[in-house]
Amino acid sequence: MKLYDGGRAPNPRRVRIFLAEKGITVPLVPVDLGGLEHKGAAFTALNPMQRLPALALDDGTVLTESIAICRYFEALHPQPPLFGRDPQDRAVVEMWERRVEFHLLTPVSNVFRHSHPAMKEMEVPQVPAFGEASRPKAVAFLEFLDGELSRRPYVAGDRYSVADITALVSVDFMKPVKLAVPDHLAHVRRWHAEVSARPSAKA
């Protein structure tokens, strides 16, 4: 198999962190997002959605969507479990993964897509007012998450999970759009320092 990878973008990084936590090595094929290589005919044939990452399996199947790719690896390599340990724990992990995705990664991405000059050709039309309206939504979710992280070490419970990976790439993606974790969110800051210190965060 081969993983089509997109460098610093948050979704490809989600999968690389996941693989690093699992200790799995997959050959990477770099795709030049800045040069719009993902919009070209060759990559579009692999993923018509023109998004990264994409995992090409040996039988020709192409899997896309970061979390679908991660869950596939979870099935092949169950240890350590990053999607939960039993049906209820798995539901709690998925709930938190999705809450972070919809209420943090999505608004931060919307700020980027609708206000960053680099996205002018990729997000058509950019609606800057929507980008701006997304900023306080990301911060409001961090305020909520801070309360949650005052009561447990990780986003979805006592163990590091895929929800922490999504939250980490979301917080780190705030930097290019000039959003910052407010100083008074001590629990988010504690959590961010801890997950950033794991070797996987460099992936």
By CB under 8 A, name the binding residues for its own copies. 48-49, 57, 61, 63-65, 67-69, 71-72, 75-76, 87-88, 90-92, 94-95, 98-99, 103, 114, 125, 127, 129-130, 133, 144
Is 146 in contact with 185 (CB distance < 8 Å)? yes
Written as six digits, the tokens of 183 are 């100083």
Long-range CB contacts (within 8 A, 24+) of 189-194? 190/149, 191/149, 191/153, 191/154, 191/155, 191/164, 191/167, 192/168, 194/153
Whichever of 17 and 67 has its CB closer to its own copies, that residue is: 67
Q: Which is nearer to its own copies, 22 or 201 (CB)?
A: 22
Which amino acid, 112? F
Specify the residue, 31 or 69, whose C-beta has the smaller distance to its own copies.
69
Give bridge partners of residue 29 from the DSSP assignment. 4
Considering beta carbons, is residue 71 or 116 the nearer one to its own copies?
71
**Min dist. Cβ of residue 6 to its own copies (A):** 17
Measured from the CB atom, the residue of 108 and 201 that comes closer to its own copies is 108
Task: Report the alpha-carbon distance of residue 99 to residue 43 in Å, rounded.
Answer: 30
Find the shortest distance in angstroms from Cβ 107 to its own copies: 12
Beta carbon of residue 202, minimum distance to its own copies (angstroms, whole number): 26
Nearer to its own copies, 5 or 94 (CB): 94
The CB-of-82 to its own copies minimum distance in angstroms stands at 15
Please say whether the beta carbons of 149 and 191 come within 8 A. Answer: yes
**Cα(98)–Cα(119) distance, integer angstroms:** 25
Token pair of 78 as six digits: 């169950």
Minimum distance between the CB of residue 55 and its own copies, rounded to whole angstroms? Answer: 8
Check: CB of residue 53 under 8 Å from CB of residue 69.
yes
Considering the complex, what minimum distance in angstroms separates the CB of residue 17 from its own copies?
18
